[in-house]
Chains A and B, each alone.
Chain A
Amino acid sequence: MLGFLRGCSAIWRRELAGIFMGPLAWTLLVIAIALQGLLFLVYLKTSQGDVDLALRFGFGESWAFWALAALFPPLLTMRMISEESRLGLLEYLLTAPVSDAAVVLGKFAAATSFMALVWSSGLLHALLVQAAGVAPDWGAVWGGWIGAVLVSGLFCATGLLCSALTNTPVVAAFGAIVLHIVIVILPLLSSLTEARWIQEAIARVDVLDHHKATFLVGVLDSAYLGFFVVWTALFLYAATRSLEARRWR
């Protein structure tokens, strides 16, 4: 177990360094922070100065959040396996004394850490309104941030799976983005049908609702936490299996 964690940690550090050494991560970070800052001001104005509502918009109540959440993880994860495989670097990694699961988990942790940093701009906004004299509901702010990180974690896991399934990063990113769009617009399909069983089935896998109903309003619920952990674990498991299958090709 200790060896697994050590391997995970090594991969995480390596991937994180890889992310921040390249221009893509910095570009994404600058775009995200500027866009979120601008949108936060728009939310503040439209909500007539309601700071909690404006912060909630930034952490998941708005379509801009879901657009960033669906778009950024695939751009980060697209190269993690497919590019390394194409360049032949993956062979070195797979022959190193770390398990496939540790490789996938380390890469996943690095991508999710970056997304956690992206969502930290919401914490900065909360600090700014506090400095302006209105203390936000910090419980809801932290809840929203945790939820945003969990959503990003899930999307990073799907991104890694797509990356593990192909040798072309662009195809991996495209596949993951399509998958994320499906996940995000799934609840809309629920309103198009009258069949209750379809609505209930969609409600069981509705990522938006699982984030908005709890984390976004400042609630930590083990059932909803479990939802994200279980589905993220499922995609990571599939990614690990896919990586493992590369040995057989």
Chain B
Amino acid sequence: MALSGGERASMSRFERWAIAARVLTALLVAVLCALLATRILETRLLRARFDLSQDGANTLDPLLVGVLARLDEEVVVDAYFTPSDPPFEVVGAEVQDRTRRLLRLMADESGGKLRVELHDVARRGRPSARAEARRGELQLAAIEPGGLVVLSRGKRKELVRLRGGLADLDPGNPDPRLAPWAPARIVSFRAEESLAAGLLSLSDDEEPVVALVVGQGGLDPRRTDDFGATLFVRELQDDGFRVVQVDLERGQPLPEEARVVALLSNAQPLSEAAAKVVADFVDAGGRLYASVGGSIEGVGGLASVVARYGIGIDPDGIVARGVPSLGGALEEGSPACADLSIGLDGMAGMNQVTDPLRAAGRRVYLRASRALVRGAPPRGASVIELLRAPDKSWIDRPDSAGRHDWRRGPGELAGRPVVAMQALMPALAPVPAARRRADERPETRVLVVGAPDVAANWMLPQNRDFTLLCFNWLAARDTRVALKRQDPAARRLDLSQAESLSGIYLVAVWLAPLACALLGLLVWWRRRA
């Protein structure tokens, strides 16, 4: 029934406004209904999600899902992303993009317990007021190139840097004069793992103290070169530990709140007094981490320090293994025989240190490692062989001049020597009140690694997870996870091959549009005919 011209003309101004108001109300109600419907569809009960991607890149690891489910209060994630410095501009942006997507997934999964704030600091020098305010609250002095992610819960915070935290990056070779040009690339994207560890650290209120013994010529935490331990200190701090340097020879006492004492490849033995301080600490429920250095034998040598806990050190042999040749055979006679790569079969099973490594398919790399042997442990102690050298290894003995030939001689023990050991026992002496924890049995934990460089700057990137897992076990913290990393290297077209690009160019830019145009002309011609 249409309105006639007369009826329309007779409509008063009020009636017109009333109709307009009704239309607007109907529109408003419809929009509200749409908003409500989308809100309802977001509820967990009605929501279904399917990840179509080949490598499950959009599915969170069950471990991280568990961590998110256990969050008891809101955690804020502040992501500050800035352009990366050369040559990481492209890969840095890719890591940021993947991290943004991961944070989105985590926020969706957390059911509101994880609040993500992406701060726009891309235009250097002109960050938003909100970004600046949060930066002040989080007490961040500066945002490094590439940016960082800060997890915070109340006053506690954890920092995850782009390089080394969110991803391992390889600079490639930007200078073609020296070697073939190679672009920077992502070696592994490890943001999921780092963020999970950060969340776990946040929920752990304690900050265990690691007393790093210095002054014996071991790895120096102030040296930034290959044989320093600056990375070791930084990684421990990033993982929620507090690292304190102690020079026992100068009479400095171990801090009362120290949880772990670390002896990093000492070149000289401890003095008798210093060795007693360490032994007293460990006996009274303290924890000891030691990597074997040059001071093995004698009073104050590492062998005497760890022998009382059932761990012995072979003083003059180095664990070696043949180097795989191009043909696959193992060749001897090279110093490279002292390099060991330990995989799944060399790691202890059902173990807090090695299980995450096994689950994630990681390896441990050791060089010039001493063999460890089971000694006479105290009563009630359990000594566990943590890492074994690969099959067909041997202990290479030096000749009278102290030189190794890296060949398996008749008298050299062959097999799979142990290169890392841990010992666990009830405390041998009363635990001081400062170190006593209500939720924990008083027990002594000792972990010895045979390789001197395992925590050195040049080796730590390969052994970061192993080292952190060792310290977390020593500190009785369950805050370290190792998740399967995503390595997005495979699906890349080699642009240096001209044929592949020219083929795509020909079809995508010329043939396909031309075919369309011809089809269109054909339709037009047939219609005309």
B30 at the interface (CB under 8 A from A): yes
Q: Using a CB-CB cutoff of 8 Å, which residues 216-236 of chain A contact chain B?
A: 217-223, 226-227, 230-231, 233-234
Known A30-B513, A30-B516, A49-B494: A194·B523 in contact at CB below 8 Å: no
Of the candidate stretches B37-45, B236-244, B265-273, the one touching chain A is B37-45
Q: Which residues of A contact B524 (CB under 8 A)?
A: 23, 26
Q: Which residues of A contact B500 (CB under 8 A)?
A: 132-133
Q: Which residues of B contact A34 (CB under 8 A)?
A: 509, 512-513
What is the interface residue range for chain A against chain B? Answer: 35 or more
Q: Are A26 and B519 in contact (CB under 8 A)?
A: yes
A63 at the interface (CB under 8 A from B): no
Of the candidate stretches B53-61, B382-390, B457-465, the one touching chain A is B53-61
A34 to B508 Cα, complex, angstroms: 7
Q: Are A47 and B52 in contact (CB under 8 A)?
A: no
Q: Are B523 and A44 in contact (CB under 8 A)?
A: no
Q: Are B513 and A37 in contact (CB under 8 A)?
A: yes
A131 at the interface (CB under 8 A from B): yes
A3 at the interface (CB under 8 A from B): no
Shortest Cβ distance from residue B67 to the other chain A in the assembled complex, whole angstroms: 21
B21 at the interface (CB under 8 A from A): no
Known A128-B508, A132-B493: A29·B516 in contact at CB below 8 Å: yes
Partner of B492, one of A46, A50, A230: A50
Q: How many residues of B contact A (CB 8 A)?
A: 58
A191 to B129 Cα, complex, angstroms: 11
Q: Are B523 and A20 in contact (CB under 8 A)?
A: yes
Shortest Cβ distance from residue A23 to the other chain B in the assembled complex, whole angstroms: 7
Q: Which residues of B contact A49 (CB under 8 A)?
A: 492-495
Q: Using a CB-CB cutoff of 8 Å, which residues 11-43 of chain A contact chain B?
A: 20-21, 23, 25-27, 29-30, 33-34, 36-38, 40-41
Extra contacts besides A121-B508, A220-B49 (7): CB < 8 Å: A37-B505, A41-B501, A128-B507, A137-B53, A218-B51, A223-B47, A248-B3
Contacts A/B (CB < 8 Å), 29 sampled:
A34-B513, A37-B507, A37-B513, A40-B508, A41-B508, A44-B493, A44-B495, A47-B90, A48-B90, A121-B512, A124-B507, A124-B508, A125-B504, A125-B508, A129-B493, A132-B504, A140-B54, A142-B52, A194-B129, A217-B101, A219-B50, A221-B50, A222-B41, A222-B46, A222-B47, A222-B49, A234-B30, A234-B31, A248-B3
Residues of A within 8 A of B (CB): 20-21, 23, 25-27, 29-30, 33-34, 36-38, 40-41, 44-53, 121, 124-125, 128-129, 131-140, 142-143, 191, 194, 204, 213, 217-223, 226-227, 230-231, 233-234, 237-238, 241, 247-249
Residues of B within 8 A of A (CB): 1-3, 26-27, 30-31, 33-35, 37-38, 41-42, 46-55, 57-58, 90, 94, 101, 104, 120, 128-130, 183, 488, 491-495, 500-501, 503-505, 507-509, 512-513, 516-517, 519-520, 523-524, 527
